[in-house]
């Protein structure tokens, strides 16, 4: 076919060599394609076609009679309405399938996942190569959409909010050669809903964790090796500092001099007199000059500012 052409096959499976079609789309020779028939039906979960961005896939519908066509059209319309009006994605082809009721019930968990993704992007030691999303909780359908929200947070600061969303995040991660794994935790944890990220980057590994207190109160409970208790919202300043007297006061004074109000200050350490981590939640934005001023304090060795949502 000519360069830049579009291909549509709604006749029968096997007419198109699917691997060749995928290659032509990935190379840019074809501008796009649409299929509702496949060599093997239903289309296999690991089919290469599912990863091609400029390809529209719909199920093969045997709606030959007018009555069948009407019923199929009604079902499609009901599915679109459920997604738009109720957030019900149980019939979506290109997004994690989850009911509208579950989407609403698990919204605090998904918001927590996105915040952890933002934090992972800011604190990862170099470019992210792999991310593992580990979940412990009662919602069997939570893991796949939770992973999507983690990726939204991870990628949105890099690519921009207009490009990254719940549907596109997994594909965009693959484009950046980020391996994504998701796992249900079988080991007992101290929370009813718990999510842990293990991030492998070019210069090391980062672990983060969050949990729900009750049904709807998210908290970040681990940053690297430090146990914390941070509400995942607004702007967070993460500091590495010496565990010596007066540091909290000096940080607070510096922020006050720049007109920045502290909403919460959590200090954690692994051993007395060693290195400590501070997670400082503040109101409003924190500019580069404030970060440099924090690094100018003799006791502070690292300062990272991250917007959690």
Taken in order of first residue, the domains within the chain and their CATH numbers are 5-57 (no CATH), 103-231 (3.30.1330.90), 233-309 (3.30.70.260)
pTM to 2 decimal places: 0.73
Under a CB-based contact definition with an 8 Å cutoff, are residues 177 and 95 in contact?
no
CA distance 307 to 120: 11
CA distance 140 to 68: 34
- Please give the pLDDT value at position 113: 97
Q: Which residues of 26-41 are buried (b: 16+ CB within 10 A; e: fewer)?
A: eeeebeebebbbbeee
In angstroms, the Cα distances linking 133 to 4, 212, 277, 296 are 38, 16, 23, 36
How many helices (H) and strands (E) the chain has is answered by 8, 13
Catalytic residues: 12, 41, 60
What is the pLDDT of the chain when averaged over all its residues? 89
**Confidence band (pLDDT; 50, 70, 90) for 70?**
confident
CA distance 48 to 59: 16
Q: What is the pLDDT of residues 103-153, one digit of tens each?
A: 788 899 999 999 999 999 999 999 999 999 999 998 888 999 999 999 999
In the predicted structure, residue 287 carries a pLDDT above the cut 90: yes
């Amino acid at each position: 076919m000519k360069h830049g052409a579009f291909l549509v096959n709604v006749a029968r499976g096997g007419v198109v060599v699917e691997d060749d079609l995928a290659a032509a789309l990935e190379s840019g020779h074809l501008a796009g394609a649409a299929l509702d028939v496949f060599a093997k039906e239903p289309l296999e979960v690991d089919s290469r076609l599912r990863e091609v961005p400029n390809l529209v896939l719909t199920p093969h519908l045997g709606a030959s009679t007018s009555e069948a066509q009407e019923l199929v059209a009604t079902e499609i319309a009901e599915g679109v309405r459920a997604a738009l009006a109720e957030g019900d994605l149980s019939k979506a082809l290109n997004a994690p399938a989850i009911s509208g009721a579950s989407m609403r019930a698990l919204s605090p968990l998904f918001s927590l996942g996105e915040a952890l993704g933002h934090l992972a992007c800011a604190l990862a030691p170099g470019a992210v190569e792999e991310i593992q999303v580990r979940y412990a909780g009662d919602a069997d359908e939570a893991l796949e959409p939770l992973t999507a929200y983690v990726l939204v947070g991870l990628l949105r600061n890099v690519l921009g909010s207009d490009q990254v969303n719940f549907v596109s995040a997994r594909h965009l991660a693959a484009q950046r050669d980020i391996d994504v794994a998701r796992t249900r935790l079988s080991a007992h944890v101290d929370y009813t809903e718990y999510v842990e990220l293990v991030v492998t980057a070019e210069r090391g590994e980062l672990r983060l964790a969050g949990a729900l207190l009750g049904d709807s109160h998210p908290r970040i409970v681990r940053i690297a090796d430090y146990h914390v208790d941070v509400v995942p919202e607004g702007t967070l300043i993460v500091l590495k500092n010496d565990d010596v007297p007066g540091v909290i006061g000096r940080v607070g004074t510096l922020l006050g001099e720049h007109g920045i109000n502290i909403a919460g200050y959590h200090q954690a350490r692994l051993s007395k007199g060693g290195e400590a981590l501070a997670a400082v939640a503040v109101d409003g934005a924190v500019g580069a000059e404030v970060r440099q001023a924090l690094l100018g304090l003799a006791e502070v060795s690292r300062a990272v500012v991250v917007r959690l949502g």
